[in-house]
Amino acid sequence: MSRVVKAFREFLVAEKTFRKIFAKQTPGNRIAPPRTNAMDAKLQLRLDAGEVVNGKKAIYLQVNSQAKNEALKKFKKKYGTDANLATAFIDEDTPEEKQEEVFEEMWQHLEPQIRERLG
């Protein structure tokens, strides 16, 4: 399982896609990756935007319907594709020069939840 999570994180960092989490989004919309069958099958995970409360936006890590990894498939079967594998909160108004640091902190918050939910 760790390979899938690591590959997803590497995609977010390599493409600077993590910067999208700081943009204004409608709650429930996908942040990353772009919604394509190829990307969903390759990365198996996605980030969705949640509500903003007092300037803090919820970020939800969810399993794509095309997930092939056994642990992800079990999670998806048990909870569905809209279930949150992990949740973190970020300050939507983070200055650009601090965004990578805040992303790293957010990711450190997500990892233990992922391990706990997937075993």
Lookup result for tokens 């997930």: 67
| Predicted pLDDT at 81 | 83
Average pLDDT over residues 40-49: 96
CA pair distance 82, 4, nearest whole angstrom:
18
CA pair distance 21, 28, nearest whole angstrom:
13
| Predicted pLDDT at 119 | 78
Cross-strand pairs, 69: none
Whether the pLDDT of residue 99 is over 60: the answer is yes
Lookup result for tokens 């909870």: 79
Give the model confidence (pLDDT) of 49-70 as tens digits: 999 999 999 999 999 999 999 9
Report domain extents, the chain.
Answer: 2-118
Whether the pLDDT of residue 1 is over 60: the answer is no
Six-digit token string for 64: 């794509």
Rounded to two decimals, the pTM is 0.94
Average pLDDT over residues 34-46: 95
| Predicted pLDDT at 2 | 82
Strand order in the sheet with 56-63: 30-32, 45-53, 56-63, 84-91
Six-digit token string for 28: 């429930």
